[in-house]
Structure 1
Amino acid sequence: MSRSLRRGGSAAIVLAFAAVSLTACAAGTSSATLQVRPNLPAASIGTDLKLNGIVVVVNPTQTSGEAGPANLTVNISNTGSAPETLQSVTVGGTTATFQDANGRALPGIVIPPLGAVAIGGVNEPSARLANATLTIGGFSPTTFAFSSAGKVDTTALVAPAVGPYAEFGPSTPSASGSASASGSASASASASASASTSASASASGSPSAPASATGSASGTPSGTASASASASAH
């Protein structure tokens, strides 16, 4: 084979390789690829428990370093044949409290065998931090403790309740709850005051009838005297 043919063959191979590379790049811009999101903190403990998407969501008005409430969101899957119970979660030194989907307190969150629990999701149990000091946009040290598997130390992304995390933020019915409680207390106080006034009026009204009767009785002589004086003058 001549040298020119060999050069031509090499050039063809290079062109073919370039075409394959361009095809691969084109595939990389497909909608499926564009949907890939940055990795969130994850952890595993033993061979059965996997924790994915560990995020702590704070109020959008909260600033870094300011103490405030926060909610944990994490998906925990259990590929084992026995249930596991999440007994505690500590984020940045603050321990979370657990509640079921109806807001009732839970001692722990059960991860069923061959199942998963999306803590913080709709109709799922929640893990709430009453007052945590966190750096928004940063990562906070987080510890999960399980009944059988033990503990795992990891980190949680700290994000404000905006965009994809808007529905996962701490609920703020506390203000409306306070207003409601305050309104109820006010209404109750009003009702009490009203009842008290009514009772007082009733009580003072009862003797006022006799007093009035007395007044008219005492007024009678006065009226009689006036009438008499008037008759005398005539």
Structure 2
Amino acid sequence: MSRSLRHGALAATATAFSIVTLSACGAGNNAETLQIRPDNAATSVGTIKIQNVNVLTQPEGGADGTAVVAATLFNDGTEREVLEAVTLPGSDAEVNLQAADGKGPIVVPAGGQVIIGGKGNASAVIENSGEAARNGDVQQVVFKLSRTGDVGLGASVFPAEGFFEDFGPSPKAEAPSPKPNATASETPSGDGETPGTPEGETPGTPADGAGAEGAQGADGPQGDTGAEQGAAR
């Protein structure tokens, strides 16, 4: 290799090394280029970061029943934030909020986080979910915080299946099946009559003619014949 070629190769190597070094220094340990961003909707305003936001509907594409908003809220500030409301602009859907313990508001502690959706976590339930966007659409979601104010972003709408199964709404309750009606086998035989009783007769009453025969035995011809025989003697 000639002397000029060796110098050119060394210069190119030095330049490439300088670019890599400067890029690494510019990135720093906390640079956005080194962080893994979630695939789901995320945004930040001031000290509040909201990640993994989705609207989850009934599994198997069911249109009826409730839906939920799933998200994770981070608070990098020194004072707590209270999630006062979640709204879905462009729809009349109402979102009911509930803390993880079922009491009080949803609080994002200072220097902490709160998860919305999933067993044991806080919840944001969309009661009239038919007003929300359909599966596959993007629904605008606004989180109203006590100190930061409104933080909005577009969230994807998915059925609560696969990865989202544990974060979705409770399955729609099925209507109870009607009780079976009384069948013919439960109805007494004989159209309400007492079994074993001839038609038109009362249980325990002698059949026709029995009373007449008894009367004849007392006052009939046989009794008269006995009286006449006694007189003749």
Instruction: Please give the alpha-carbon distance, in whole angstroms, between the structure 1 residues aligned to 2:167 and 2:94.
Output: 18
Q: Which moved more, 1:132-141 or 1:72-81?
A: 132-141
Alignment RMSD (CA, Å): 4.1
Aligned ranges 1:99-138 → 2 under 5 Å: 99-101=98-100, 104=102, 108-130=105-127, 131=129, 132-138=131-137
Do the aligned partners of residues 83 and 230 (structure 1) sit closer, same or farther apart at CA in structure 2, a change above 3 Å counting?
A: farther
Q: Alignment partner of 2:157: what SS?
A: strand
Aligned ranges 1:123-202 → 2 under 5 Å: 123-130=120-127, 131=129, 132-175=131-174, 178-179=175-176, 186=179
Instruction: Work out which of the residue numbers 5, 8, 12 in structure 2 matches 1:10.
Output: 8
Corresponding residue number in structure 2 for 1:91: 88
Question: Which has a greater percent of helix?
Answer: 1
Bigger-Rg structure (1/2)? 2
Corresponding residue number in structure 1 for 2:42: 42
Instruction: Please give the alpha-carbon distance, in whole angstroms, between the structure 2 residues aligned to 1:135 and 1:221.
Output: 80
Instruction: Please give the alpha-carbon distance, in whole angstroms, between the structure 2 residues aligned to 1:53 and 1:114.
Output: 19
Quote the offset at 1:143 in angstroms: 0.9
Q: Which moved more, 1:77-86 or 1:224-233?
A: 224-233
Which amino acid in 2 is paired with 1:90? Answer: T
Instruction: Work out which of the residue numbers 214, 224, 231 in structure 2 matches 1:228.
Output: 214
Q: Alignment partner of 1:142: what SS?
A: strand
Q: Alignment partner of 2:83: what SS?
A: strand
Alignment length (residue pairs): 182
Which amino acid in 2 is paired with 1:165? Answer: F
Deviations 1:96-130 (A, max 9, x none): 1123447x5x6631222222111003310111112
Unpaired runs of 5+ in structure 1?
22-35, 194-213
- The TM-score with structure 1 as length reference comes to 0.60
Question: Which has a greater percent of strand?
Answer: 1
Instruction: Please give the alpha-carbon distance, in whole angstroms, between the structure 1 residues aligned to 2:114 and 2:58.
Output: 24
**1:62–1:68 CA contact under 8 A, matched in 2:** no
Do the aligned partners of residues 38 and 74 (structure 1) sit closer, same or farther apart at CA in structure 2, a change above 3 Å counting?
A: closer
Residue 50 (structure 2) pairs with residue 51 (structure 1): yes
Instruction: Please give the alpha-carbon distance, in whole angstroms, between the structure 1 residues aligned to 2:136 and 2:209.
Output: 90
Instruction: Please give the alpha-carbon distance, in whole angstroms, between the structure 2 residues aligned to 1:45 and 1:115.
Output: 16
Instruction: Please give the alpha-carbon distance, in whole angstroms, between the structure 2 residues aligned to 1:98 and 1:43.
Output: 21
Q: Alignment partner of 2:5: what SS?
A: helix
**2:84–2:105 CA contact under 8 A, matched in 1:** yes
Deviations 1:127-157 (A, max 9, x none): 1112233143332111111223221222112
Aligned ranges 1:200-219 → 2 under 5 Å: 216=204, 219=205
Corresponding residue number in structure 2 for 1:80: 77
Which amino acid in 2 is paired with 1:62? Answer: G
